[in-house]
Amino acid sequence: MIYLDHNATTPLDPEVLEAMRPHFLAGGNAESRHAAGRAARRAWEEARESVARILGADPAEVVFTSGGTEANNLALFGLSGEESGAGHIVSSPIEHPAVAEPVASLQADGFAVDRPEVDRSGVADARRMAESFTGRTRLATLMLANNETGAIQPVRELAGLAIPRGIPVHTDAVQAVGRIPVHFRALGVSTLAASAHKFHGPVGVGLLLVKRGVRLRSRLLGGGQQQGRRPGTVAVPLAVGLAKALEIWQARAAERTAAWVALRDRLESALVAALGPGRVIRNGPEDDARRLPQTVNLGFPGLDGDGLLMQLDLAGVAASLGSACSSGASRPSPTLVAMRVPDDRLRSSVRFSLGANTTAADIEEAIRRILPILEAN
């Protein structure tokens, strides 16, 4: 199997597993005062400090969660002030379900929601989003990088327009962290979500960065762990694994980025060269600076995406039609709909996403397997 679906999840790095192993085997609750507890606490604090350093935050701003979905939910429900009555939210129409569904839930509970359109390359307009602000706006949310097209969004610009007006901004950075440099303080947002399994860390752990001074109401009640924002016994091995995976990415970022760009472009250019630009069309920004280095979404006009995906799977190539969290749905991708992608490729677009272990040989073999499928359809 040639695995080209790393935006769905990435395999665990063996170095990360080795860093986690001692903490799985050792006892010790990080809240306990005995030696085992103190050792667990040290590991926890070291993980938090490492994450904060790499992501441009303060350790006290780091909240570990079970993943990106929990982090996004905690931010959106916590910032919205849902307990004090309906307000107004500004979002984008290209958000991952982990954001889109909580926003829809708040809307069902009485919140007004504006979702200003994105351009045809899938990039939001921060100024257009800001034009939707009212005196009742409780928060704005915009993902940092789109999970389907890799389009990088103007989050910093949006924060610069919203924060001075007292409107908190949340960004879902799940697809960005571990792929491009992310600096919490420089972005200027109120909260930021990430998930370890997107950058070769363990499944089951993510984080939410919460800017100092930001009030965040938690839906969970229990112990006072993590300043009460995410109560419960902390998962030390998973936090260690997340931090280790992030450290590995930072140490190898330049090398990985250069390799990803070369391999991503080789895959796209080979398919276009063989079939022609009319049969292979990129969905997403033309400007490489506006997209993730390891993601490409290609439309194949007139083909059936579900059938194409099945044939790729039988040929030993793992890819995706879009978000793995909604891949069971028969409806077309909300992101591509929002981009106003024509009907002839709306249901025929495939996302290929690379990981740290993707090699040039993998891409050449993938091309060899993909072309006959496309040529036969």
Q: How far apart, in whole angstroms, are the C-alpha atoms of residue 30 and residue 26?
A: 12
Q: How far apart, in whole angstroms, are the C-alpha atoms of residue 352 and residue 294?
A: 8
Contact between 354 and 263 under an 8 Å Cβ cutoff? The reply is yes
Q: How far apart, in whole angstroms, are the C-alpha atoms of residue 367 and residue 265?
A: 12
Residue 247 CA, distance from chain mean position:
18
Q: How far apart, in whole angstroms, are the C-alpha atoms of residue 306 and residue 88?
A: 37
Q: How far apart, in whole angstroms, are the C-alpha atoms of residue 370 and residue 364?
A: 10
Q: How far apart, in whole angstroms, are the C-alpha atoms of residue 374 and residue 217?
A: 50
Residues labelled catalytic? 325
Residue 39 CA, distance from chain mean position:
32
Q: How far apart, in whole angstroms, are the C-alpha atoms of residue 58 and residue 248?
A: 20
Contact between 61 and 52 under an 8 Å Cβ cutoff? The reply is yes
Burial class (CB in 10 A: 0-12, 13-18, 19+), 226: buried
Q: Which residues contact 330 (CB under 8 A, 6 or more apart)?
A: none
Half-sphere exposure of 190 (CA within 13 A, CB side): 27
The token pair that represents 168 in the structure block:
């908190």
